[in-house]
Structure 1
Amino acid sequence: MTTSPDRRFPRRVYARGTEPDGRFSLANERTFLAWVRTALALLAGGVALEALHLPVEPHLRLAAAVLLIALGILAPVQAWVGWARAERALRERRPLPAPAFSGPLAAGVALAGVLVLVGLLVR
């Protein structure tokens, strides 16, 4: 028994194009789940920075923690938007789009690392 496209969520994805090879949709889902795992790691890192009383200058430690938590909130947005854009592209037989927020996420992680490093050096 197959589910009709009008009963699948989100309709704006499934109502377009034709059903792609299941392997590609499953790979897209694995990428979605990888972004969710990344979000959990960013959230855990941000919480850990504040919870573990590390020898890092307190203001820089707090800035890095807040940045990591903010990135942890942004990563699931990337997961959802990226999944939907890739699934639509697969269904419409178009090239896959680049991740929408990967640049800001990478820059934010690098900045958090710099904040922690400087915080260690000035302490």
Structure 2
Amino acid sequence: MTLKPNPFSHIDLYVTSFEKTLPFYEKLLPQLGFTNRYDSPKWKVFATQGELPSAAYFAITEDKAHQPNKNLVGFWAENQEEVNQIAALVKEAGGTVTAGPGLFPISPTYYSVYFEDPCGNGYEFLHRTN
């Protein structure tokens, strides 16, 4: 079996309320490269460039009983300034920064921001050189 350079396909994400969370994702995900939309009544899909099914995507659906947990989705940043920009955007869009932005003791260059969407789903946006 040959591994692909980036084996990521998609994330099926559950939120408690489209009304509460879609404005957040409509601001955040395009900044992370998920610029194409493919929506249906049940799923709101934010995809990277390219055609489905080969494009990476976030598929968001509503489940009023959803309970966030300790799972975390991480994204790469080009540099520390981009981490700072995403941290500001998260606050502006209604998310919660839970730690950072700043250096973390994972490595000497590990610069990150940890945050949650309005429903409590966890994310990290990070830059590191080692």
TM range, smaller chain: under 0.3
Q: Which has the higher helix share?
A: 1
Per the normalisation by structure 2, the TM-score is 0.22
Work out which of the two has the higher radius of gyration on C-alpha atoms and give 1 or 2: 1
Flag the structure with more relative contact order, 1 or 2, with Cα contacts below 8 A and sequence separation at least 6. Answer: 1
